[in-house]
Amino acid sequence: MRVWLRLFLCLLVSPVALGQSATSASSVRLPVKRVVLYKNGVGYFEHSGRVNGNADVSIDFTTAQLNDVLKSLTALDLGKGRITGIAYNSIAPINKRLGALRLPLGEDTTTAQFLDAMRGARIEVHSGTLSAQGRLLSVEQRELAGKDDQKITVNQISLVSDSGEVRQFDLTPATSVRIVEKDLNDEVGRYMRLVASTRDQDVRRLTISTAGTGERELLVSYISEVPIWKCTYRIVVPKDGKPLLQGWAIVDNTVGEDWDNVELSLIAGAPQSFVQDLSQPYYARRPVVPMPENVMMAPQTEEATLQQDKVGGMAEQVQVEAAAPSVDVRNRQLGGAISGLVSGGPRGGYGHGGGVGGGVFHVGGGVSKIQADSLEQANNNVAESRDLGDLFEYQLKDRVTIHKNQSALVPILQARVEAEKVSVWNPNEGHALRALWLNNTSGLTLDGGSFNVLDDDAFAGEGIMDPVKPDEKRLLSYAADLGLVVDTKQQGQRQRVTKVVIARGVMTYISEDRQEMAYTIRNRDTSPRTVVIEHPIQSGWKLDEDMHPDESTTSFHRFRVSIDPKKTETLVVKEHRPISRRYELTNLNDDQIGFFLEQKMINPEVEQALRQIIRQKNDVAALQAEIDSRQAQITSISEDQQRVRENMKALKGSAEEKTLVERYARQLNEQEDQMESLHKQIADLQQKRDNAQKVLNNSVQQLSLEAKI
């Protein structure tokens, strides 16, 4: 490090001029008149003021703010004038600016890299009593022997003197290097200024140029990155009467300009917004296309004419006239057009389409107006709340002043509200909490934030609340209640059938599970308590008809229990869960019916209907069994006939052939008669089975029964 410092103390660097360009003599400043802050970290700003003649208006931003300004800026000349241009100081990336220098150096460079970039330059080196002057040859590293056989790496520079002698010097703390060439010294100075500029204050000045006659109003609006504003509340609980709710907003001014007597609005919501680096110059990477080889060709001579055109002379020359396009860019009517737009309609108000801040504000007939302090006094509120779709706004009735780089507590609400002091018990907490059951009767939407409770002229606790709409009730817990003890005990009951429904061949059993949760509450304090028990909501379970909670959320049923001092109360929450099972009537048998009777799942009426179905089902099954029996006899006779025929084939040429053939023939005739009889019996049985099946199907489909068990 010492080598680096000594090296640059020896450089002959010209003085550096730092800072931003000065504002022109005719430049004016537009004060901030209106500020709208959002929960997504952006703010909408309006500047308004008077300009005269041709004037330049300047506004300072940081680079981060300028990116938002460039994609949202609206500038309007509201008189007989026009906006002629908007300019700002551009800052190229540091690597691009360093790349424009002759020295191949980066932003972070070492002594060796710096000297290596100046190879061939004339330098003067001093190291102790030794000195030399010449041209820098190289910068190399070499190892030196240290203590305990350790190696030490040092940088070594080599230079060539005017006489051709090569000299080498180690870069040690005692070594200094001076650049002799003036041009190279200037280049080093430019490099040092660029590196130093990275530490300059980040100021981007936007200059709006106007042209016109006379004095007129100029309005500029844009969005910019700002800190998120926060809400905090105070709830003062008196001994008698309604509690007082006081709301404050914490607002930070970090935009670099004073907010002097501005109209302030706070939007609780987050319209879509994003960051895009528009203020930084971008350079596209272009492809390198080599020259085609056919361009680099040797000179050649052309052949002479062999035959001339038969018509005679040269071919007719075609003349092409290129008509120059008439381009006339005029903007002289811009100011008048905008002025007509503004004067032709109301200047300001809110709309539902385009505009700044995610579609919340219009500019104009498009201009957002700076409203007068004519808001009605209601409920002693210091701000007016308006719903804007998914957003809502606190518009302060009084103008505020917040200097740059300062923060402030801004009052947004002061109203009497309805609130009941209760104790809340939740199974997830394990102990009771003191709470206020707040009914938002302020008429305003309360944004989410922290709250602080003052009870009996003393601090009672604090907590966090979510957004609360007007006339919405919300439990706000703020302290532990040490005077309550709550014990829980769960009891379950055996599942029982409640109803049987038979329809369209299906029997449905409707049963239910039942359970009870007993909450035993002991008030050990000397003052009465109103306890809110939060009973968890379970999927599929329903409260009994005689259970009536005060309110229900997506996760809990809330029951109110009043307890006198030193007393114990019990709350029993009864729930049931319906369960249904389905049975096909044609799949039932006597054993299942017996089981249903044993378990008291059916009554005699249902039993009689089911047994009638089973009798008909058994009739069909008996007929089918007889059909199957006769079909088996036919199969057996067929197999025996096949055996006989095989025996008859084997008798050909034998002495017993005639006698055995006659016997086998009689046997076959008898079997054929038997098979014919069996086929007739099967046909009759199939007809009876089909009729019985039809009766069964009709009985199953027509049976409709509903019985409570």
Q: What angle do CA 448, 452, 453 make, to 5 degrees?
A: 125
The whole-number pLDDT of residue 451 equals 93
d(CA 176, CA 7): 6
Instruction: Please check whether residue 534 is in contact with residue 557, taking contact to mean a CB–CB distance below 8 angstroms.
Output: yes
What does each C-alpha distance from 447 to 232, 350, 420, 458, 467 come to in angstroms?
A: 9, 21, 21, 25, 4
Per-residue HEC secondary structure of 511-576 comes to EEEEEEEEEEEEECCCCCEEEEEEEECCCCCEECCCCCCCEECCCEEEEEEEECCCCEEEEEEEEE
523-542 burial: b if 16+ Cβ within 10 Å, else e: beeeeebebbbbbebeeeee
- Cα 531 from Cα 512, distance rounded (Å): 31
Q: How high is the pLDDT of residue 536?
A: 93
Mean pLDDT by 10 residues, the chain (709 residues): 40 33 52 89 89 86 80 87 81 63 72 79 84 85 74 82 85 83 80 66 76 89 88 90 91 86 84 66 69 54 46 39 33 31 33 33 31 36 58 83 90 90 89 91 87 89 90 91 90 69 83 88 92 92 90 92 93 88 81 76 81 86 90 87 77 67 79 87 91 87 79
A 10 A CB-CB count for 444 gives 24
How far out from the chain centre does Cα 417 lie? 35
379's tokens: 């409920």
Residue from 584, 606, 582 nearest 596 by CA: 606
Instruction: Give pLDDT, residue 557.
Output: 93
Q: Which pLDDT belongs to residue 114?
A: 80
pLDDT value at residue 284: 67
Q: What is the pLDDT of residue 186?
A: 80
**Which residue matches tokens 């002629």?**
84
Nearest C-alpha neighbor of 468 from the set 238, 252, 231: 231
Distance from C-alpha of 45 to C-alpha of 357, rounded to nearest angstrom: 10
